[in-house]
Amino acid sequence: MIEGVEPAQRIRRYASSLYGLLLRDLRVQLRDGAGFVLRAIMNPLFFLFIFAFVFPRTGQGFSGGGTTFATILVPGLVGVAIFFQGVAAVALPLAMELGGTREIEDRLMAPVPVALVAIEKILFSAMLSVISAAMVFPLAWLLPGIPVEVTVANWPLLAAVVLLGSLAGGALGLFLGTSVRPRQIGLMFSLVVIPITFLGCVYYPWARLDAVPWLQWAVLLDPLVYVSEGLRAALTPEVGHMPAPAFLGAIGLSLVVLTWAGVRGFLRRTIS
């Protein structure tokens, strides 16, 4: 903490330190620019290639309610890009930084509260998640062999869902990164990230789970469900989706809970 200074001056110092931390992480990320691009595009690239390009050409295309599967899929893939990047950009490096090398120590020496170092990781991850989400759209326009009816029907709603979802994804990454040991990273993806993806209403709207009522209610614990539904409301409003207050409120609640849990875990792992 900075003692003996005015609150306004303290805020300026905190903001300056936060800006420096963001620049530091950005410089490190730029060294692995190719890796970032590959992480961002590989998952949506292959899903779109198989389900929206190969399937229609082999007579295996399918649709529901007059809507092509590619149209249903695109908003979900944007949500996956957001959450996967959130986990990859925070949890993977953090699990190593909190390991034996304790590489996090240089950030902890910044003249800001330790909790702000954790918040910076969420903010930086959110920046990368927004970029990852934007990368999905060119793939959706170029790859599919069938028409994809995706248009921005509501720009403010799209911005709100992407921003809140990106922050929630970063908070999830912070929580996971402070909850697992480096040797458990593979297990984390098997037990957490993969189920979140497949149960996150990426490949189907939430409303269509009414055929399996217990599952329809169980998946409400998955924060990706609300991001996928919010993106459908903004990009494919003709596809059934949750009401805006429901998914925006749920994303906001997920952000608060995951941030609290992630910061708490970060403090526990860094302050002895």
Residue type, 28: V
Quick: pLDDT tens for 21-60: 788 777 877 777 777 677 777 777 777 776 666 766 665 5
- The tokens of 242 are what? 């949750």
Domain spans in the chain, listed from the N-terminal domain onward:
7-270
Q: Is the dihedral of CA 158, 160, 166, 171 positive or negative?
A: negative
Quick: pLDDT tens for 92-145: 888 777 766 666 776 677 677 888 888 989 999 999 899 888 888 887 777 665
Q: Is the dihedral of CA 213, 214, 216, 220 positive or negative?
A: positive
- The tokens of 90 are what? 């925070």
pLDDT classification of 259: cutoffs 50, 70, 90:
very high
Q: How many CB atoms lie within 10 A of CB 26?
A: 12
Q: Residue 97: which of 165, 28, 145, 51 has the closest Cα?
A: 28
Task: Enter the pTM of the model.
Answer: 0.84
- The helix (H) or strand (E) run that includes residue 215 is helix 213-218
pLDDT classification of 147: cutoffs 50, 70, 90:
low
